[in-house]
């Protein structure tokens, strides 16, 4: 039985409004505007770890680019190096942030647009270096089912890379801290989950930097790896992401599990398993971008009970064939999987007031030592501090916003998939 603070989307009930109502109450408490300087402390009134949503852009929307904070971030980029590639148009008026691919004969190949024409740049990570390694990655979390997945991974003594969505991080900050404590690796998956080629240069900066700030505020860590939603990237987006310190991760061709289709009941579980079996049987053909034998990187999602369950089966199938699942930092041998200046622990916007060690056992992350988090920042003048744009003004607004974005996401995914199938 749903309450009016839950949203059901294709059989999944999302607890959404409760949080928004709490935030609204806190906005009242914090209305004195007492947040100044570089720290934004938020005292959870009932001893829970909560984020003050009012300090961040609205969930699931492209952040406002006119805020002083975003303008400061934009000023850090050398725009003379960013290719002048036009912003992609959306598939239709309803879905302005899912790119419409031009006909092949009109394609400018110098743009290297992955989501429309499958082009990868040499700097894009698409495989693990060793043929027996499997880069295990989950996108679009965190959410209510994420802990079901991490429990399975813990039982199997495995760690993964989670590409998280900024606005969802604020909703489940403890899950992010658990990821780090359990030795998982966290990567960036933008703020609103829009196709980045459809965003202006400044919108891309706002998406990345707000997500970066949210994750840093929750964990103290600054992400180093980014997976663009839908793999939607071209050379304009690449250059902006590189300048912000990011390494781009796509996935291995043929190893998109298509598990997201379970969310819309577009595919039976047995088809995902069968497709994965085909991929496993032909894993000898996996090649890196420089044509060396390599291990696959999969695309999976921690978004529903079904995707979690199918993931367990895929792990068992692959390990039985000698493929070893692991997080990307481990497979890439990256001993410093976060940007310099990362310092483990809540980064300022939240305080844990009910005791305990919120930093967790960070050494669980392979190759990470304390000094990796305490090095001086590469970037000067980047301390956050100004407030973002306001949150949805009421619970019903928040629910409506979520419902719009959920429908929107479903349409976008389906549209992008149908384009790709026609290639
Ligand atoms: Zn995604």
Residue 299 is classified by DSSP as: B
Would you place residue 42 in the very low, low, confident or very high pLDDT band (cuts 50, 70, 90)?
Answer: very low
Structural domain contains residue 16: no
Positions marked catalytic = 139, 301
Instruction: Compute the average pLDDT of residues 379-401.
Output: 33
Structural domain contains residue 34: no
Distance in Å, CA 140 to ligand 1 centroid: 5
Predicted local distance difference test score (pLDDT) of residue 415: 31
Q: How far apart are CA 334 and CA 368, in angstroms?
A: 9
| Residues 295, 130 contacting (CB under 8 angstroms) | yes
| Residues 188, 176 contacting (CB under 8 angstroms) | no
Predicted local distance difference test score (pLDDT) of residue 346: 63
With a cut of 60, say whether residue 220 has pLDDT above it: yes
Q: How far apart are CA 342 and CA 375, in angstroms?
A: 7
Distance in Å, CA 39 to ligand 1 centroid: 30
**Which stretch of 181-190, 284-293, 351-360 has the lowest confidence by average pLDDT?**
351-360
pLDDT tens for 325-353 read 999 999 999 999 999 888 776 654 333 32
Q: How far apart are CA 409 and CA 418, in angstroms?
A: 14
Residues around ion ligand 1, judged by CB within 5 A, are 139-140, 229
Predicted local distance difference test score (pLDDT) of residue 87: 97
Distance in Å, CA 108 to ligand 1 centroid: 26
Q: How far apart are CA 341 and CA 20, in angstroms?
A: 32
Predicted local distance difference test score (pLDDT) of residue 56: 95
Distance in Å, CA 238 to ligand 1 centroid: 17
Number of Cα atoms under 13 Å in the Cβ half of residue 328: 29
Structural domain contains residue 10: no
Domain limits for position 139:
40-421
Structural domain contains residue 390: yes
Distance in Å, CA 302 to ligand 1 centroid: 10
Structural domain contains residue 151: yes
Cis peptide bond N-terminal to 323, omega within 30: no
pLDDT tens for 54-108 read 999 999 899 999 999 999 999 999 999 999 999 999 999 888 999 999 998 888 8
Predicted local distance difference test score (pLDDT) of residue 264: 82
Distance in Å, CA 380 to ligand 1 centroid: 30
pLDDT tens for 134-183 read 999 999 999 999 999 999 999 999 999 999 999 899 999 999 999 999 99
Residue 373, by phi and psi: left (phi above 0), alpha (psi -120 to 50) or beta? alpha
Which of the two residues, 175 and 42, has the higher pLDDT score?
Answer: 175
Predicted local distance difference test score (pLDDT) of residue 290: 83
Give the pair of three-digit tokens for residue 269. 């579980």
Distance in Å, CA 406 to ligand 1 centroid: 12
Domain CATH code at residue 127: 3.20.20.370
CB atoms within 10 A of CB 281: 9
Mean pLDDT of the chain: 77
Predicted local distance difference test score (pLDDT) of residue 384: 31
Structural domain contains residue 128: yes
Alpha helices in 13-145 (DSSP H): 17-29, 68-74, 114-117
How far is CA 160 from each of CA 68, 136, 180, 353, 400, rounded to the nearest angstrom? 36, 5, 11, 29, 33
Structural domain contains residue 2: no
Give the pair of three-digit tokens for residue 316. 């068992």
Structural domain contains residue 153: yes
Distance in Å, CA 407 to ligand 1 centroid: 14
Predicted local distance difference test score (pLDDT) of residue 229: 97
**Which stretch of 17-21, 136-140, 143-147, 304-308 has the lowest confidence by average pLDDT?**
17-21
Distance in Å, CA 374 to ligand 1 centroid: 30
**Which stretch of 160-174, 189-203, 376-390 has the lowest confidence by average pLDDT?**
376-390
Q: How far apart are CA 89 and CA 198, in angstroms?
A: 6
Domain count, the chain: 1
Q: How far apart are CA 183 and CA 159, in angstroms?
A: 6
Would you place residue 388 in the very low, low, confident or very high pLDDT band (cuts 50, 70, 90)?
Answer: very low
Q: How far apart are CA 197 and CA 204, in angstroms?
A: 9
Strand 300-301 versus strand 295-296 pairing type: unpaired
With a cut of 70, say whether residue 200 has pLDDT above it: yes
Which of the two residues, 345 and 377, has the higher pLDDT score?
Answer: 345
**Of 138, 133, 161, 160, which Cα lies nearest the Cα of 292?**
133
Q: How far apart are CA 341 and CA 218, in angstroms?
A: 15
Vertex 208 angle, CA 203 and 209, to 5°: 100
Distance in Å, CA 229 to ligand 1 centroid: 5
**Of 59, 384, 82, 7, which Cα lies nearest the Cα of 194?**
59
With a cut of 90, say whether residue 8 has pLDDT above it: no
């Amino acid at each position: 039985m749903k309450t009016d603070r839950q949203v059901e989307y294709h059989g999944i009930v999302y607890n959404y409004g409760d949080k928004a109502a709490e935030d609204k109450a806190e906005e009242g408490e914090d209305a004195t505007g007492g947040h100044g300087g570089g720290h934004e402390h938020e005292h959870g009134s009932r001893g829970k770890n909560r984020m003050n949503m009012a300090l961040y852009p609205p969930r699931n929307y492209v952040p406002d680019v006119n805020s002083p904070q975003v303008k400061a971030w934009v000023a850090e980029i050398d725009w003379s190096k960013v290719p002048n590639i036009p912003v992609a148009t959306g598939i239709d008026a309803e879905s302005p942030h899912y790119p419409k691919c031009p006909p092949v004969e009109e394609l400018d190949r110098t743009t290297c647009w992955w989501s429309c024409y499958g082009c990868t740049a040499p700097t894009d990570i698409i495989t693990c270096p060793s043929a027996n390694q499997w880069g295990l990655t989950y996108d679009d979390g965190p959410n209510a089912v994420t802990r079901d997945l991490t429990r399975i991974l813990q039982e199997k003594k495995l760690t993964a890379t989670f590409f998280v969505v900024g606005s969802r991080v604020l909703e489940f900050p403890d899950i992010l801290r658990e990821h780090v404590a359990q030795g998982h690796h966290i990567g960036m998956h933008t703020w609103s989950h829009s196709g980045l080629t459809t965003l202006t240069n400044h919108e891309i900066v706002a998406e990345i930097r707000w997500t970066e700030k949210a994750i840093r505020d929750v964990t103290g860590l600054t992400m180093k790896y980014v997976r663009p939603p839908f793999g939607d990237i071209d050379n304009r987006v690449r250059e902006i992401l590189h300048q912000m310190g990011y390494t781009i991760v796509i996935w291995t061709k043929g190893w998109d599990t298509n598990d997201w289709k379970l969310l819309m009941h577009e595919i039976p579980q047995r088809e995902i398993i069968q497709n994965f079996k085909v991929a496993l049987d032909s894993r000898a053909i996996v090649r890196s971008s420089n044509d060396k034998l390599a291990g696959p990187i999969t695309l999976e999602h921690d978004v529903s009970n079904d995707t979690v369950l199918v993931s367990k089966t895929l792990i068992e199938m692959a390990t039985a064939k000698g493929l070893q699942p692991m997080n990307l930092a481990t497979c890439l041998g990256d001993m410093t999987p976060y940007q310099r200046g990362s310092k483990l622990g809540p980064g300022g916007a939240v305080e844990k007031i009910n005791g305990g060690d919120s930093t967790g056992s960070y050494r669980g992350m392979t190759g990470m030592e304390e000094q990796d988090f305490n090095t001086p920042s590469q970037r000067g003048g980047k301390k956050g501090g100004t407030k973002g744009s306001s949150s949805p003004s009421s619970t019903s607004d928040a629910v409506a916003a979520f419902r719009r974005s959920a429908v929107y996401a479903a349409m976008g995914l389906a549209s992008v998939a149908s384009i790709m199938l026609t290639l």
